[in-house]
Amino acid sequence: MGEQPSFEGPNADKSDKSSSRVVSGRKPAGRKPGASRPAVKDPMANTSARKTSVIKTSASKTSAGKKAAVKQTPEKPAAAEKAVMKKAVMKKAAAKKAAAKKAVTTRAAATKKAAVGKTSAGAEAPAAEKAAGTKKAAATKKAVATTAPAAAKKTATKAAAAKDTAAKKTAAKKTAAKKTATKTAAKKAPAARKPESRVAMVRRARRINRELAELYPYAHPELDFTNPFELLVATVLSAQTTDLRVNQTTPRLFAVCPTPEDMAAMAPERLEELIRPTGFFRAKTRSLLGLSAALRDRFGGEVPGRLEDLVTLPGVGRKTANVVLGNAFGVPGITVDTHFGRLARRFGWTTQEDADKVEADVAAIFPKSEWTMLSHRVVFHGRRVCHSRKPACGACPIAPLCPAYGEGETDPEKAKKLLKYELGGQPGQRLKPPADYPGQPAPPMAAP
Ligand code: SF4
């Protein structure tokens, strides 16, 4: 170890100044070998020397302390190593964190860049699509423009083919409709296909009667009357006219001459005047005066209840006799008037034109108990549906049983318009119909 610098006090500086003056005034004397090095008297050098000496002393102290510590704790070198290891670990962790941060920042930057790229690409995509769309549209326009004539030709051919197919279909439909119509007609008119046996005709005829009974359960004579004499007179007047006209005429007539005696006593001109609305009033006047006198003279003023007697009266035939017998006396009878004869022929019950022969043919088909009501039902149907000129076949409930189906209108809607009286929504013929009649009563005759 060298010499330790000595710390000097302020008094020592004054002495140094004086001594320096002295030194500066003479040449430095040569140092003797082995003599100690004189202390530097420069203050600055002195302070720096002091500082360096302090540093040296402190360093020496610290190194000495360390050495001393090392020397003092020779048994604890692991702690120092641990500290060093810790520092190394800390450094590594810090380095890792820094590396992680850098990686995160680089990733974020990369994602940002990618996003920017995507957005830029997305912004460019619609434009590209639009461009592609416009290109496509232009291409299609060009294609249409170039292929337009061909397409027109194709459509024309297609339209022609469609027309042909439609025409074929309609023709097929028409043929099918014709076939079905013929089939239905054949079904409705089985007798037209092959000759009908007598038994089959009778069965069909009786079935028609049942069908008509269901259709007209209220069937009745359509002449207003209150006794056999009024019915007899009304039936005579009904020739060549309608029951409605008779019903509108008889109230005034029966009010003037209610009995055979009263009528027989009337002047012909007066009677003609009363029955004029029914037509053929002169001939009818002769008949009424003659039968009234006969009733008065031969039958005591009463109407006989036998056919044989009735047909002896002036102007009374089988038809009138049957009407009176059937409706005033409850004696079964078939009334063959113009309606009954026409329908009996259309039904195939008879081929006769004479009323008596028609009556005979029909009487052979039906039991006697059905005669009167059968007459009313057939006449009802003839007046409402099966008209002489325009039968409403399309609206006829018994068309499947009728061989004459098709003689009239077969269109249902058109046929429906041909229905009359209660079926056509019109008033009936009687001014005083039975209580069960579903239609409206006939109006009285209008004043002249
Ligand atoms: S309307 Fe026609 S289907 Fe009916 S009974 Fe008369 S003809 Fe026959």
Active site residues: 319, 337
Pocket flag, ligand 1, residue 390 (CB < 6 Å): no
Pocket flag, ligand 1, residue 433 (CB < 6 Å): no
Distance 371 CA to ligand 1 centre (A): 21
Pocket flag, ligand 1, residue 402 (CB < 6 Å): yes
Q: Tokens standing for 121?
A: 């690409």
Pocket flag, ligand 1, residue 405 (CB < 6 Å): yes
The answer to whether the pTM exceeds 0.85 is no
**Which atom of ligand 1 is nearest the CA belonging to 406?**
2
**What mean pLDDT comes out for the span 329-335?**
95
pLDDT at 90: 74
Distance 410 CA to ligand 1 centre (A): 10
Domain ranges of the chain: 201-424
Distance CA 366, CA 359 (A): 11
Residue owning the nearest CA to atom 2 of ligand 1: 393
**Which atom of ligand 1 is nearest the CA belonging to 391?**
1
Residues across the chain? 448
- According to CATH, the superfamily of the domain at 201-424 is Hypothetical protein; domain 2 (1.10.340.30)
**What mean pLDDT comes out for the span 82-91?**
68
Distance 390 CA to ligand 1 centre (A): 10
pLDDT, tens digit (0-9, with 9 covering 90-100), for 397-439:
999 999 999 999 999 999 999 999 999 999 999 999 999 999 9
Q: Tokens 């990686």 correspond to what residue?
A: 103
Provide the mean pLDDT of the chain: 75
**What mean pLDDT comes out for the span 112-132?**
40
Q: Tokens standing for 224?
A: 């207003």
Residue owning the nearest CA to atom 6 of ligand 1: 386
Q: Tokens standing for 274?
A: 């009363």
pLDDT, tens digit (0-9, with 9 covering 90-100), for 209-267:
999 999 999 999 999 999 999 999 999 999 999 999 999 999 999 999 999 999 999 99
Distance CA 249, CA 404 (A): 36
pLDDT at 371: 97
